[in-house]
Every structure is written in C-alpha cells, then in structure tokens.
Amino acid sequence: MTLLAAEGLVKRFGGVVAAKDVSFALDPGEMLAIIGPNGAGKTTTFNMVGGQLRPDAGRVTLAGQDITGIPPRAVCRLGVGRTFQVAQTFLSFTVLGNVQMALIAHHGQTRRLLADAAALHRDDALALLDRVGMAAQAARPIGELAYGDVKRVELAIALAAAPRLLLMDEPTAGMAPSERSALMALVAGIARTERIGVLFTEHDMDAVFAHADRILVLVRGEIIARGTPAEVRADPEVQRVYLGHSGTRAAERAKRAHG
Amino acid sequence: MEWEFLLVQALSGLASASSLFVIASGLTIVFGVTRIVNFAHGSFYMLGAYVAVTIVPWLLEFDRSPWLFFAGVLLSALAVGAMGVVMEVLLLRRIYRVPELFQLLATFGVVLIVQDLVLLAWGPVDIPGPRAPGLRHGVDIAGQRFPAYELFLIFVGPAVLGLLWLLMHRTRFGVLIRAATQDREMVGALGVNQAMLFTGTLFLGAALAGLGGALQIPRVSANPQMDLSIITEAFVVTVIGGMGSVPGAFIAAVMIGLLQAFGVLVFPKITLVLVFLLMAAVLVVKPWGLLGRPEAAAGRAVLPEGILDPGRLDGLTRALVVVAVAAVLALPLLDAYAVKVGTEVLILALAAFSLNFLVGNGGIVSFGHAAYFGLGAYGAGLLVVKAGLPMEPALVAAPIAGGLAAALFGFFVVRLSGIYLAMLTLAFAQIAYAVVFQWVDVTGGDNGLVGVWPSRWAASREVYHYMVAAVTIAAIVLLRRVIHAPFGATLRAARDSAQRADAIGVDVRMHRWLGFILAGAAAGLAGGLYAFSKGSIDPTLLGIPMSVDFLSMLLLGGIQSVLGPVAGAAAFHALKDFFLPLTDHWRLFMGLSIIAMVLLFPRGLAGAWASLRRRPA
Ligand SMILES: Nc1ncnc2c1ncn2[C@@H]1O[C@H](COP(=O)(O)OP(=O)(O)OP(=O)(O)O)[C@@H](O)[C@H]1O
Ligand SMILES: [Mg+2]
C-alpha cells in the first residue's frame, strides 16, 4: 500500500515556479531520493509534504488520508519525522534534552505544569541516541557538537515521533565523507527493519546511488526523470542536464560496489 | 452632519497625519539601517520643539518675516540632528549587537536623561511658541474657517516624502540607506563607510524628529510630556506601515490622522483605542505591516539570550535563598518602614519573575507587562471600592483580571515575534492605560481611587507583610516549578527554534498564548497585592515607566537566570527607595544606570554571582 502520495504539487514564489506538477508515491520501507541542482525545488517539495508550506495546487496523502496544507505539528502527529537542510535543534538544551523534548511532545505532555521535564523519558531518549551513535554525548550542550553530530541528533529527534515516514532534507550535508555513508547506511537499516518510508535529498551522489530504491530528478521545479538508480543513471537527459561527468562517475562507483 | 464639516474634519486629520509622518519617517529610517527601535526619537521631537521656542522668537525679533520663522524651524531641526549624531557616537554604536531588549532599554535610558535635562534647561512650565508670520489667518473653506498654518502643514508631509524619495534614489547616501534596509549582510561589507552611514542616518532621523517638533510650536506649547505621547503614536505608525518603510509610514500616518479626526466624532473618548485596534487588525492580517518585509532568518544559529538550562540550585545559592527568605520573615523585627519596603519588594519580585517567565524563558519580550500588573490592581481595587467586597475575593479577582487581559491581548501578541511583538505589547499597555485614564466615572481617571484597604485581620503592616510573603513566595515557587516542567521547557524549545518545535508536534502559538496568560495572571496577582499595600490605585501602575521598571529589574537581576529577577527586584526597589528622596534627578540617575548596565554589566547580578561561584577557590 502507498504510504505517501504527492499529486500535482505546485508552488510559486512571486515569479519563480519552485515546484511544477510534482507527483510521486512512496511505499513503506522504501528509500526515495530527490536529486537536482541548487534551487531545483527540493526543499520546497519537502515543505509542502511536511506542512511548512501550503501548495498552490495539488494534493498530499499519507496512507490514504489527505494532509494537504495541514500544519507541521499535525503532520508530525500523523507519524512524520523531519530533519532540515540547516539542522533545527533546541540550542539551549543538552543533546539528551533535545530528544527528551521531542518525546515529551510525542506523548502530548507539553502542557504539564508540575512534572520535572529533565526526568521524563530519559531511558527512551538515551536509547534513541544510542541508535544514532550519540549516547556518549548525551550530557553535552548541543551547541558544542560538530555539525555532523548535530545532524545525527536531529535524526534521533525525528525518530522520537515513532514515524512511519521520515523526511530528510540533505541529512549528510556538512559531514565528512566516511560519516556520510555510515549515516545513510544507518537510515537505510532503520527504514528496512521498521518499514519506515524515507524521502530524502542529497547532493552526495555516492550516498544517493548506494542507498536509494528509487530516484526522482527535479530540475527547475519539474521532475525530468524517475526510476531505479540504474534507470536514472542511464537516462541521457539526466546525464546532460544534471549528473554530468562527476555524477556519472559516482553512479559507476556505486554500481561496482554493489555489483 | 454637513459635508462642509466633514471636509474640514478631514483636512485637520490630514494636517495631523502630515506632522506624524515627518516624525515617524525618521524613526523608520533609523530602524531600517540600524535595526534599533529608538525610544529617544520622541525625545528628539521634544527637543525640536524646545529649541524652536527658544530660537524662533529670538529670530523674529529681527524681523517678523515668514522666512525667518522657517529658517528658525530648520535650524532647530539641524541642531537636533546634531544631537542624534552625539547619541549615535556615544551610545548606539556600542549596542548594535546586543539583544533587542537591551537596545530598547538603553534608548529608554536616553529618554529619562533627556527628560531631566529638559527640566533643568527649560523648567517645568509649558512654553508657548510664536505663531507663524503670514500664516496666522484663517482660510475660508466651503464656508468654514480653517487655519492657514494647518493647511500649510498638510503640504509638508508630501513635500518631505518627495524630498526623502529624491534623497533615497538620487544620492549615494540614500542608496546606501535603502541597501542597508533591505539587506543586513550588505552593511557588513561596507567596512569603513558603515560608521559614516550609521552616523548620517541618525542625523537624518533625529533631524526629522526635530523638524516635526519645531513645526508644532504654533499649535502646541513645548512641554515635558511631549516625548512619550508622540513616541507611542510614531511607533504605531511605523509598525502599521512596516518597520523601515518610508512610504508605508506615509500611508499609515494618513490612515491614523483620518481615523482620529473622524473617530473623535463617533467615539470622542476612545480615539486612542481605535488607533491601537487598527494596529492590531493590520498586524493580524499583515504581521510585518503594510509595506514591511519579514526579517530574513539569521543564517547561523545563535544561542538565545535568556534562560539556557534552568538547572538545579547549587548549595551556596540555596543557602542564599534561605538567608533571603529568613530576612524577609525577620523584617518586622526592624522598623515599620523596613516592613513596607520589604512588602513592596516581594510584590515586585513576583511581577518581575512573571515577566522573566516570558522574556527569559519564552523569548517573548513584553514591553507592556505593567498592563497586567495594573489591571490586576484595578480588578481588585474596583471590587473593594465600588462593589464593597472584602480583600479575599478581590485578591482572587486580581489574577483573573490580569489573566483575562493577557488572554485578550496575548491572542494578537503571540502571532508576532521580535520587535513587532515588543511594539504590540507596548501598544496594548497604552490602550489599557488610556481606558483607565479616560474612564473617569469608574476608575477615577488620573486621580485613581483610594480606600483599597485589607481586611481587618490583615490590617496591620506586619500581618499583611506575612500574608504577602506567603502568597508571593508560593507563586514564585510554583512559577519556578513550571519553568522546570514540560510546559516551561516547551516555551524554551519554541524560543530556540519555532520550526523544530512545530515539527515535533508542538502548537507553538497556543503554548505561547497559554504562557502569556499565566504570566499575566501572576502579574495581576502582584498588582492586587500592591493595591492593598498602598491603599489606592492610579493609572501610573499601567504606564510605560512601570513596564520599564520591571524590565530594569530583569536587566539588573539577569534574564538568563531563573531567580535573578527576584534579586533584581530587591536591588532595584531598594536603590530607588534610597535614592529617590535624595535627588531631584532620579530619572537622570536611572537613565545613566540603565545605560551603564547594558554596556558594562549585561548579565546582571545573577551573572556576577555565577562568575563569582565559578572562580577557583
Ligand atoms: N520562501 C521563499 N520565497 C521566495 N522564493 C523562494 C522561497 N523558498 C524557495 N524559493 C525559491 O524557490 C526555488 C526553489 O528553492 P528550494 O529551496 O526548494 O531549492 P532546493 O532544491 O532545495 O535547493 P538547494 O539544493 O540549494 O537546497 C529557488 O529559486 C528559491 O530561490
Ligand atoms: Mg534545499
């Protein structure tokens, strides 16, 4: 059954058409990548799915339920976790506190006036941090972490919502290459074992071709190609407008590594 | 109503609009370039009037010609522009990077200083200005007499708008002003020229305020209350028009001028309320004003200014708290005066704590917290004086009054953020002030009401002191608990990143609103207790100076600390109580102190305490 479906999404900013008739579907446990040059409309598409932006036209459905234009908090409560291109965390909190806060919100406890927030959901939060390999840093203020580590914590925050769907806008931006593949492997593992659908964007073609089940190629707001990594790799149009030389090489490397 | 009458009414509305625009344009230009909301803009306006009533009559001695009159007006504007330069060089360039709250407080410090200096230089008596030669007659308009000077003023606004347009589009200085207004990053790239640009902008802004003030002298006498009355109106104009937008300020000024001219026919007493309602309505539909643009989000994440980790009290701090509570309980062993001051400190501590619940914990910089304090006081006081109820139910009503007012105003306030939010809280506080001030039948107007005495059992100072201690300490302990609780943590989370909070399922606006109500209720309770401690209520409880007092307590105590505001309230009130009787220049002293605090000591007493504690033994 389809987990997420986008149908004919359109978004304009003044004269710029950031998304033009964007449609795709995503199954549980599937990793769907959106690739495209800067300004292609990837983040805009994420924001229309996650509720940060209301599409000018089109529909978004989650497991058959229409979620078009509902606010992010409601999208989250339906089981959607989100990470942002520029990591969004609670800077005054510790690493652990960030995940605890997400769990407090997930359990609908944000209006409790007398409980001690620092004592709530400690173990669950630590377990989530452990999954992303950040348990050892739990007590540190998040502002002290390296950016790549912040991105991992952001993943733990997103997982706190017990999501069916993860939206990850450039999850590995700012990480060292070795860290990148480790993080993508981690996400892919979680997606497969827990049957979570993952929609992600990446500028790192190695990560995309190694881990995506399917790929959408977005250029100037339009999907110009879609399919399995092999199909996208072979598409001459994609090679011409986007992948170019380096992208093709990354695709070849990925093919050798898997083949 | 005859159409002739309406026409004249419209013309006088346009004349006020014109004056208002001249002043507001300066404020909005200064904000656009420096991103500082300059409270002292009203002081420049007042100085413009005072300088003009001094030099224009002197010039007219030589020859009663219109040219000398206007030369005097322009000279006054230039002189005030020079004062703007002084303010930029001495103060503003040191605070471009400090948090908004501190900028507002520092410029308010200048307001206080100028008030005292004006009193020193010109005395407390209003000084009428000369009428403008050649424009003293009335003009016949559709059978009605209309003052020629007003007619002239109508043309001043568009003329200034046109000149500003030329400046902005035809000169290098103006082009830089526009560029800086539109793009913050660009200013950094200016290098050396940046200082020139900022100084020049302050000259222009202050000169426009001075011009506005100088042009008023045939209409109103120069008086020491001019600054605060004009600054709220100028704030409203710039906020409605969009901060930084000169054409926006023009449109807003015309709207407000006409609204006041016609509003006075329909609701003679509450034109001020109409103006603020217009502002609230505009901001709900267009949160950045008519022609304003949203502030681009900062590229890099920065630590918020406020409570970071509420944490636990360490041993020594706990000991300090115990000593403080013991001192509060022991006060009645001293004299009655100490008890009175102690009671007031407790009440102000609760008010300051509730304000820091918003500012330090929620990142909601309220510039009108006195509204909730004052409405709590009136809620309790009116029940006693007008309804004859005893103290106990009145003290229950106080937090309800504060909370209800906060619910009403907060509904609009939490839609905004940053400087717009601060301006709207200020505007709402002024509405509340205006209602209390003008609704004489119920509130006693300017004089307020007397006879707000405690019940018989609490009539002695000592018993009342212990009751206040019990109530305020319990309220502070509870609020502190809320700061540590999920609700308080959620407010901090929303302050750190509203986007992240939303994405984990938090209704940010709703939580901010509930937080605003809770803080309003706590302030209302404090206000109720205050009314019974004084035995009376009056509109100063809701005024801007009261709100600034609360903010100064936070500044003094340290907004990054949970208990700092309590220490700040104690220190502030004790200092005020000690110095106020000793000096005729309390405002000068207070203004200088606020500025010194912002510049030298921005983390307050709590910051000093923390660094003392961290120092190796
Ligand atoms: N809030 C906005 N207002 C105006 N224009 C916008 C806004 N958000 C995005 N745009 C424009 O829409 C287009 C698509 O932007 P988007 O951020 O979706 O691209 P992207 O594919 O995520 O790019 P990148 O790889 O750089 O992150 C760009 O031209 C951008 O300038
Ligand atoms: Mg993007």
Q: Report the amino acid identity of residue B199.
A: T
Q: Report the amino acid identity of residue A91.
A: L
Atom of ligand 1 nearest to the CA of A47: 18
> At which residue do the structure tokens 């660094």 appear?
B611
Q: How confident is the model at residue A258 (pLDDT cuts 50, 70, 90)?
A: low
Q: At B605, which helix (H) or strand (E)?
A: helix B604-614
How many residues comprise chain A? 259
In the predicted structure, residue B424 carries a pLDDT above the cut 90: no
pLDDT value of position B617: 42
pLDDT value of position B62: 87
Return all residues near A184 (Cβ < 8 A) that are at least 6 apart: A171, A172, A202, A207, A210, A211
Residue of minimum CA distance from atom 16 in ligand 1? A41
| Whether A50 contacts chain B with CB within 8 A | yes
Pocket, ligand 1, Cβ cutoff 6 A: A 13, 16, 18, 36, 38-44, 85
Q: What sign does the CA torsion over B549, B553, B556, B559 have?
A: negative
- Percent of chain B exceeding pLDDT 90 equals 58
Q: Provide the whole-model pTM.
A: 0.90
**Which residues on adjacent β-strands are paired with residue B536?**
B450
Q: Would you say B563 and B321 are in contact if contact means Cβ atoms under 8 Å apart?
A: yes
Q: Which strands sit side by side in the sheet containing A65-66, from one edge to the other?
A: A16-26, A4-13, A57-62, A65-66
Q: How confident is the model at residue B18 (pLDDT cuts 50, 70, 90)?
A: very high
Each residue's pLDDT tens digit, B170-219? 998 888 888 888 876 776 676 657 888 999 999 999 999 999 999 999 99
Domains of chain A, residue spans:
1-70+202-259
Q: What are phi and psi of B175, to 5 degrees?
A: -65, -40
CA distances from B186 to A78, B34, B196 (A): 42, 12, 15
Q: How confident is the model at residue A250 (pLDDT cuts 50, 70, 90)?
A: low
pLDDT value of position B139: 84
- C-alpha to C-alpha distance for B82 and B85, rounded to whole angstroms: 5
Atom of ligand 1 nearest to the CA of A41: 18
- Percent of chain B exceeding pLDDT 70 equals 96
Each residue's pLDDT tens digit, B486-503? 999 999 999 999 999 999
| HSE-up of residue A71 (Cα within 13 Å, Cβ side) | 12
pLDDT value of position B182: 82
In the predicted structure, residue B465 carries a pLDDT above the cut 90: yes
pLDDT value of position B164: 95
In the predicted structure, residue A14 carries a pLDDT above the cut 90: no
Structure tokens at A95: 């690493």
pLDDT value of position A259: 43
- When pLDDT is averaged across residues B527-547 and rounded to a whole number, the result is 94
Q: CA torsion angle for A173, A176, A179, A184 (degrees, to 10)? A: 30
- When pLDDT is averaged across residues B102-124 and rounded to a whole number, the result is 93
In the predicted structure, residue B132 carries a pLDDT above the cut 90: no
Nearest to A216 by CA among A82, A30, A73: A30
Helices B193-215/B3-34 angle, 10° precision: 160
Residue of minimum CA distance from atom 7 in ligand 1? A13
pLDDT value of position B299: 46
pLDDT value of position A256: 60
CA distances from A216 to A168, A202, A227, B32 (A): 15, 11, 7, 43
- C-alpha to C-alpha distance for B426 and B430, rounded to whole angstroms: 6
- C-alpha to C-alpha distance for B176 and B184, rounded to whole angstroms: 11
Q: Would you say B256 and B236 are in contact if contact means Cβ atoms under 8 Å apart?
A: yes
Each residue's pLDDT tens digit, A51-60? 999 999 999 9
In the predicted structure, residue A112 carries a pLDDT above the cut 90: yes
User: What is the distance in angstroms between the Cα of A23 and the nearest Cα belonging to chain B?
Assistant: 23
Q: What sign does the CA torsion over A45, A46, A47, A49 have?
A: positive
In the predicted structure, residue B160 carries a pLDDT above the cut 80: yes
- Strand pairing category for A31-35 and A214-219: parallel
Lowest mean pLDDT among B74-83, B93-102, B372-381, B497-506: B93-102
CA distances from B185 to B92, B181, B190 (A): 19, 10, 9
CB contacts < 8 A, A to B, total 120
pLDDT value of position B613: 73
Domains of chain B, residue spans:
17-224, 315-544
Q: Would you say B121 and B50 are in contact if contact means Cβ atoms under 8 Å apart?
A: yes
Instruction: Write the residue in A87, A115, A143 that is nearest to B485 by C-beta.
Output: A115
Return all residues near B484 (Cβ < 8 A) that are at least 6 apart: A116, A117, A118, B310
- Which residues of chain B are at the A interface, by a Cβ-Cβ cutoff of 8 Å? 301-304, 306-309, 481-482, 484-490, 492-493, 495-497, 499-508, 511, 514
Q: Which chain A residue's Cα is nearest to B560? A: A92
CATH 3.40.50.300 fits A1-70+202-259, yes or no: yes
Contacts of B309 in chain A (CB under 8 A): 92-94, 97, 141
What's the angle, vertex CA A99, arms to CA A210 and CA B300, rounded to 5?
75
Task: Write down the mean pLDDT value for chain B.
Answer: 90
- When pLDDT is averaged across residues B549-553 and rounded to a whole number, the result is 93
- When pLDDT is averaged across residues B403-417 and rounded to a whole number, the result is 93
Each residue's pLDDT tens digit, A143-196? 999 888 999 999 999 999 999 999 999 998 888 888 888 889 999 999 999 999
Nearest to B366 by CA among B39, B37, B101: B101
pLDDT value of position B154: 94
**Distance in Å, CA A169 to ligand 2 centroid:** 7
Contacts of B495 in chain A (CB under 8 A): 92
| Whether A82 contacts chain B with CB within 8 A | yes
- When pLDDT is averaged across residues B296-325 and rounded to a whole number, the result is 79
Contacts of A76 in chain B (CB under 8 A): 502-505
**Distance in Å, CA A219 to ligand 2 centroid:** 12
**Distance in Å, CA A32 to ligand 2 centroid:** 16
> Between B69 and B190, where is the model more confident?
B69
**Distance in Å, CA A38 to ligand 1 centroid:** 8
Pocket test for ligand 1, best of A16, A83, A203, A218 (most atoms within 8 A of CB): A16
Taking the alpha carbons at both ends of chain A, their separation in whole angstroms is: 29
> At which residue do the structure tokens 């007031």 appear?
B344
Return all residues near B256 (Cβ < 8 A) that are at least 6 apart: B17, B20, B233, B236, B237, B240, B275, B278
Judged by CB atoms closer than 8 Å, whether chains meet at B490 and A105 is answered as yes
In the predicted structure, residue A245 carries a pLDDT above the cut 60: no
pLDDT value of position A206: 82
In the predicted structure, residue A249 carries a pLDDT above the cut 70: no
> Between A15 and B530, where is the model more confident?
B530
Residue of minimum CA distance from atom 4 in ligand 1? A13
pLDDT value of position B525: 98
Judged by CB atoms closer than 8 Å, whether chains meet at A73 and B506 is answered as yes
CA distances from B372 to B219, B233, B404 (A): 35, 21, 9
- C-alpha to C-alpha distance for B463 and B459, rounded to whole angstroms: 7
Judged by CB atoms closer than 8 Å, whether chains meet at B485 and A82 is answered as no
Q: Which chain A residue's Cα is nearest to B361? A: A92
Each residue's pLDDT tens digit, A191-239? 999 999 999 998 888 888 889 999 999 999 999 989 999 888 888 887 7
In the predicted structure, residue B301 carries a pLDDT above the cut 70: no
pLDDT value of position B400: 98
Return all residues near A177 (Cβ < 8 A) that are at least 6 apart: A204, A206
Residue of minimum CA distance from atom 11 in ligand 1? A18
